[in-house]
Amino acid sequence: MSETAMNAARMIDMLPDSDQHLAYELIKKLVLAWDPDFTKLTPEEAKLLNEAENDEFVDAEDIDWSQIGA
């Protein structure tokens, strides 16, 4: 989590419950306006996805499942 996000969480935690809910709804509205379908990646997510795509995966169709555990 970024330093900014941690600071925001600390500040929100200092608010009364009703104001915490208001702050949460505001952040939620900002996030939905930025990415309504939740399809954008954070830099960390993009890095992990790139690493996974460049890793060596085995296609399930290439596995002889009848021989597993034999």
Cα 63 to Cα 57: distance, rounded to the nearest angstrom? 11
Cα 49 to Cα 42: distance, rounded to the nearest angstrom? 10
What pLDDT is attached to residue 56? 74
pTM, to two decimals: 0.54
Q: What are the tens digits of pLDDT across the range 2-22?
A: 899 999 999 999 999 999 999
- Is the per-residue pLDDT at 68 higher than 80? yes
Q: What are the tens digits of pLDDT across the range 24-57?
A: 999 999 999 988 888 888 888 888 888 888 877 7
Residue whose tokens read 């990646």: 41
What pLDDT is attached to residue 55? 77
Q: Is 36 helix (H, G, I), strand (E, B) or coil?
A: coil
